[in-house]
């Protein structure tokens, strides 16, 4: 059986691999590689792709997965925290861009309705590109990341009214007020339904799915929730992408959101590549070459206009100037939803084919430039801030920074120099409790549903997920951790976790628990700093008790144990060499022990008598070191002290003599 789109998928992915490998060699972003792939294989290039519609469907799936992950990572609580940024910041940015673009377009000769529509197109930024860059650099929760996300969310929401208004701008369609009321009603119904799902239904479904310990079932459930919600919003006239974002918000309210993200990320990376390829396929190379300088000038103009509007928006919200500059370097491109909107504009004759091609070129160029300008946003911003400016302006900027700094640092909890514990079994639990007692900042990663729930009940900071996944590790800010303790029993998983940890950080001190000494060398080779084999630690603990009973001094016992551990337990293994121990342990007082005996009998030749009259020393050669009486310890022992029932005697003597004393103190069955 032949799959119609299979040839197109092979061509796109195969060519993308070659181009991106070449781009990586020159440290160029992969987004450009996908755009170039689309230009080459598209109808205006080599025409290698026939099933363009199917490729567009795959691209739409990529946008769905992208916004789904965004919704998971941000959550309803975080969305409420930036509601002012979404509503005020988003409306100022979109409204300002429409206003200035409309004025410029009208000045260039477009009709008023066409100028307004051009403002619609340029007011939107690329959610796919911006959030991918923020994710890759770990800046999603930074001030500029939160601002960008808030504005992008507003843009995604405002697309729906724009789609409704576009036919009205062209003089087509019915009563705009009735349509707006109808759409608002549907929107509120969807929001209410999704709230019920997030609060009462989805968390319970995920609880039972996780309890089944079936990874495939968890992935299927997550994808089903994503596509079902996207289908629901689409069926009532809203966008698929907005539905995917809402689905992510639903998942974010559960305790399993991080693992859901980890499962979806591979799907997102594959499908989002088709989105960028589909954008590249739209470009007409002949038109681009023949109008190169004009298009380049328009591109620069669009970038500067959008940067100025974003800068004004962010400073209006009283964020630091540095944050405003970086946000401007983040949101200057034209967005993917603009392409959807442009097709509606063509159908309603709001833009000509020539204007449409110009819009495509400018959009693709701004998208292509985004990774480069974003990479240099911080150093270029620092250079701009250092430019000589008037004293009064500098004082005002400083006040802006001071007023907003507290809110920025307060909004996000930041782990620093902390302990990451992988596994909440017996060992992980003990480490966590000890860390809490010592007031060491720590966070736990646990994949088992029962153990995860137990850690939550014990009020430990815990993340649900598989620690072999880099995304889960990044949620614990492992790159800032001082110590990582891998306290799981599965040796193979422990090795994968070490590799994943070392891919992110080389500075953390990694301590690994393993069951067998055979794994020590490989675990150390993978990047662990210390390995604690369970079987030999048990042997050491037992033998420590033995040496204690033989009255070996504590410092010698510690020296003995330290030498064994320092040599990776070689003395205890079959290949061990006993001559490697520098200071053999010797028994200083042979045939003598310290024993603890309870006084259970009431009246005999020892009980009820004084120590000197009991004959413990003279007859049995046993010395009383201490007595515990009614939970109090008596260490100053006098000869006249009476031995009373229920006392606990700490005796020093030979095992044989203590056994003789034992029959006078303890009831025998």
223: domain CATH number? 1.20.1530.20
Confidence of residue 18 (pLDDT cuts 50, 70, 90): very high
Instruction: Note whether residue 390 is domain-resident.
Output: no
pLDDT higher than threshold 80 for residue 578:
no
Residues 63 and 161 in one domain: yes
Computed over every residue of the chain, the mean pLDDT equals 79
| 354 vs 360: CA distance, rounded Å | 10
- For the record, the structure tokens of 209 come out as 């799915």
- What DSSP state is assigned to residue 416? -
Per-residue burial over 515-532, b if 16 or more Cβ lie within 10 Å, else e, is eebebbeebbebbbeebb
Among 41-45, 159-163, 211-215, which is the least confidently predicted range?
A: 159-163
Residues 92 and 134 in one domain: yes
pLDDT higher than threshold 70 for residue 15:
yes
- Give the total number of structural domains in the chain: 4
Q: Are 274 and 59 in contact (CB under 8 A)?
A: yes
Q: Measuring CA to CA, which residue among 546, 492, 499, 529 is closest to residue 514?
A: 492
The parent domain of residue 632 ranges over 593-665
- What DSSP state is assigned to residue 515? S
β-bridge partners, 509: 483
CA triplet 166, 168, 171: central angle to 5 degrees? 120
β-bridge partners, 484: 420, 510
Mean pLDDT value of segment 520-540: 77
Q: Measuring CA to CA, which residue among 122, 63, 74 is closest to residue 310?
A: 122
Other CB atoms closer than 10 Å to residue 85's CB: what's the count?
22
- What DSSP state is assigned to residue 588? S
Instruction: Note whether residue 406 is domain-resident.
Output: no
| 502 vs 510: CA distance, rounded Å | 9
Please state whether 27 falls in left (phi above 0), alpha (psi between -120 and 50) or beta.
left
Please state whether 559 falls in left (phi above 0), alpha (psi between -120 and 50) or beta.
alpha
Residues 259 and 120 in one domain: yes
Mean pLDDT value of segment 169-189: 70
**What three-state secondary structure class fits 403?**
helix
- What DSSP state is assigned to residue 603? S
Confidence of residue 422 (pLDDT cuts 50, 70, 90): very high
High-pLDDT (> 70) share of the chain, %: 80
Residues 353 and 481 in one domain: no
List of residues 6+ apart from 229 with CB closer than 8 A = 194, 197, 243, 244, 246, 247, 250
Choose the final residue of a domain: 365, 385, 405: 385
Q: Own/partner pairs for 613-620, CB < 8 Å, 24+ apart?
A: 614/643, 616/651, 616/661, 620/653, 620/657, 620/660, 620/661
pLDDT higher than threshold 80 for residue 78:
no
Helices vs strands, H then E, count in the chain: 29, 10
Confidence of residue 564 (pLDDT cuts 50, 70, 90): low
Mean pLDDT value of segment 462-476: 85
Mean pLDDT value of segment 107-129: 88
Mean pLDDT value of segment 625-654: 86
Confidence of residue 554 (pLDDT cuts 50, 70, 90): low
What local confidence, expressed as pLDDT, does residue 580 receive? Answer: 47
- For the record, the structure tokens of 348 come out as 């309603």
Q: Distance of CA 93 to CAs 67, 130, 173, Å?
A: 21, 16, 28
- The CATH number assigned to the domain holding 511 equals 3.40.50.720
Residues 127 and 151 in one domain: yes
- What DSSP state is assigned to residue 332? -
β-bridge partners, 649: 597, 627
| 43 vs 282: CA distance, rounded Å | 8
Residues 542 and 427 in one domain: no
pLDDT higher than threshold 70 for residue 173:
no
| Residue 318 or residue 550, greater confidence | 318
Confidence of residue 120 (pLDDT cuts 50, 70, 90): very high
Residues 294 and 236 in one domain: yes
- Which helix (H) or strand (E) segment holds residue 260: the answer is helix 257-281
Instruction: Note whether residue 1 is domain-resident.
Output: no
pLDDT higher than threshold 90 for residue 100:
yes
Residues 515 and 542 in one domain: no
- The CATH number assigned to the domain holding 638 equals 3.30.70.1450
Among 97-101, 125-129, 390-394, which is the least confidently predicted range?
A: 390-394
Among 239-253, 311-325, 461-475, which is the least confidently predicted range?
A: 239-253
Residues 147 and 227 in one domain: yes
Confidence of residue 308 (pLDDT cuts 50, 70, 90): very high
| 25 vs 461: CA distance, rounded Å | 41
CB burial class (10 A; 0-12, 13-18, 19+) of residue 442?
buried
Confidence of residue 412 (pLDDT cuts 50, 70, 90): very low
Q: Measuring CA to CA, which residue among 558, 546, 550 is closest to residue 586?
A: 550
Q: Give the helix, strand, coil percentages of the chain, each rounded to 5.
A: 65, 5, 25
Q: Are 133 and 378 in contact (CB under 8 A)?
A: no
Residues 110 and 19 in one domain: yes
Residues 461 and 566 in one domain: no
Q: Please give the distance of CA 226 from its chain centroid, rounded to a whole number.
A: 20
Confidence of residue 302 (pLDDT cuts 50, 70, 90): very high
Instruction: Note whether residue 401 is domain-resident.
Output: no
Q: Distance of CA 593 to CAs 2, 496, 508, 546, 584, Å?
A: 83, 48, 45, 11, 21
| Residue 300 or residue 282, greater confidence | 300
Other CB atoms closer than 10 Å to residue 161's CB: what's the count?
15
- Is the model's pTM score more than 0.85? no
Among the residues of 317-390, which ranges form H helices? 321-330, 336-347, 353-375, 377-385
Residues 610 and 508 in one domain: no
pLDDT higher than threshold 50 for residue 80:
yes
Mean pLDDT value of segment 110-134: 86
First to last CA, the chain: 83
Mean pLDDT value of segment 35-41: 87
Instruction: Note whether residue 404 is domain-resident.
Output: no
| 70 vs 213: CA distance, rounded Å | 26
| Residue 451 or residue 414, greater confidence | 451
Instruction: Note whether residue 28 is domain-resident.
Output: yes
| 466 vs 497: CA distance, rounded Å | 9
| Residue 515 or residue 589, greater confidence | 515
List of residues 6+ apart from 453 with CB closer than 8 A = none
181-195, 526-540, 623-637: which has the highest mean pLDDT?
623-637
Other CB atoms closer than 10 Å to residue 487's CB: what's the count?
22
| Residue 174 or residue 335, greater confidence | 335
Instruction: Note whether residue 346 is domain-resident.
Output: yes
Q: Are 331 and 306 in contact (CB under 8 A)?
A: yes
CA triplet 582, 583, 587: central angle to 5 degrees? 155
Instruction: Note whether residue 17 is domain-resident.
Output: yes
């Amino acid at each position: 059986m032949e799959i119609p789109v299979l040839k197109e998928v092979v061509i796109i992915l195969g060519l993308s691999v070659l181009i991106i490998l070449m781009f990586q060699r020159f440290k160029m972003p992969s987004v450009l590689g996908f755009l170039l792939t689309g230009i080459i294989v598209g109808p205006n290039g080599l025409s290698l792709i026939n099933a363009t519609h199917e490729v567009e469907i795959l691209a739409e799936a990529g946008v769905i997965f992208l916004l789904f992950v965004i919704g998971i990572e941000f959550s309803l609580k975080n969305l409420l925290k930036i509601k002012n940024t979404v509503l005020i910041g988003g409306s100022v940015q979109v409204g300002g861009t429409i206003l200035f673009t409309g004025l410029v377009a009208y000045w260039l000769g477009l009709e008023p309705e066409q100028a307004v529509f051009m403002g619609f197109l340029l007011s939107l930024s690329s959610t796919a590109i911006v959030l991918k860059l923020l994710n890759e650099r770990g800046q999603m929760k930074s001030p500029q990341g939160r601002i960008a996300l808030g504005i992008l969310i507003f843009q995604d929401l405002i697309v729906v009214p724009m789609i409704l208004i576009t036919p009205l701008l062209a003089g087509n369609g019915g009563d705009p007020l009735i349509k707006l009321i109808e759409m608002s009603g549907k929107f509120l119904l969807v929001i209410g339904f999704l709230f019920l799902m997030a609060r009462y239904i989805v968390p319970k479904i995920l609880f039972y799915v996780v309890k089944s310990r079936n990874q495939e079932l968890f992935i299927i459930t997550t994808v089903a929730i994503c596509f079902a919600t996207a289908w629901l919003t689409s069926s009532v006239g809203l966008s698929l992408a907005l539905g995917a974002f809402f689905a992510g918000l639903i998942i974010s309210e559960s305790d399993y959101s991080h693992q859901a993200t980890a499962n979806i990320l591979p799907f997102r990376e594959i499908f989002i590549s088709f989105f960028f390829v589909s954008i590249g396929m739209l470009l007409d190379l002949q038109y681009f070459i023949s109008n190169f300088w004009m298009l380049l000038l328009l591109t620069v103009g669009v970038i500067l206009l959008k940067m100025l509007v974003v800068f004004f928006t962010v400073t209006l919200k009283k964020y630091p100037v540095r944050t405003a500059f970086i946000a401007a370097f983040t949101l200057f491109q034209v967005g993917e939803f603009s392409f959807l909107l442009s097709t509606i504009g063509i159908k309603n004759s709001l833009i000509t084919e020539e204007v449409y091609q110009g819009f495509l070129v400018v959009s693709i160029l701004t998208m292509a430039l985004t990774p480069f300008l974003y990479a240099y946003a911080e150093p270029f911003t620092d250079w701009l801030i250092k430019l000589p400016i008037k004293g009064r302006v500098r004082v005002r900027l400083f006040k802006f920074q001071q007023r907003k700094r507290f809110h920025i640092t307060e909004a996000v909890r930041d782990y620093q120099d902390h302990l990451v514990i992988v596994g909440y079994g017996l060992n992980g639990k003990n480490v966590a409790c000890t860390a809490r007692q010592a007031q060491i900042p720590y966070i736990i990663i646990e994949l088992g549903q029962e153990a995860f729930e137990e850690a939550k009940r014990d009020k430990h900071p815990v993340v649900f997920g598989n620690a072999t996944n880099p995304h889960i590790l990044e949620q614990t800010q492992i790159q800032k951790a001082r110590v990582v303790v891998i306290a799981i029993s599965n040796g193979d998983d422990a090795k994968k976790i070490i590799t994943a940890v070392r891919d992110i950080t080389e500075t953390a001190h990694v301590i690994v628990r393993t069951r067998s000494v055979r794994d020590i060398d490989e675990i150390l080779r993978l990047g662990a700093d210390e390995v604690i084999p369970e079987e030999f630690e048990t042997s050491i603990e037992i033998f420590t008790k033995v040496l204690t009973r033989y009255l070996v001094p504590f410092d010698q016992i510690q020296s003995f144990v330290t030498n064994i551990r320092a040599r990776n337990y070689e003395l205890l293994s079959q290949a061990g060499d006993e001559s490697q121990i520098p200071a053999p342990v010797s028994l200083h007082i042979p045939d003598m022990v310290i024993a603890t005996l309870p006084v259970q009998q009431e009246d005999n030749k020892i009980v009820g008598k004084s120590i000197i009259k009991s004959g413990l020393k003279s007859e049995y050669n046993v010395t009383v070191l201490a007595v515990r009486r009614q939970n109090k310890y008596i260490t100053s022992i006098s000869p006249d002290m009476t031995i009373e029932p229920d006392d606990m005697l700490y005796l020093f003597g030979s095992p044989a003599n203590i056994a003789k004393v034992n029959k006078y103190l303890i009831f025998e069955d």
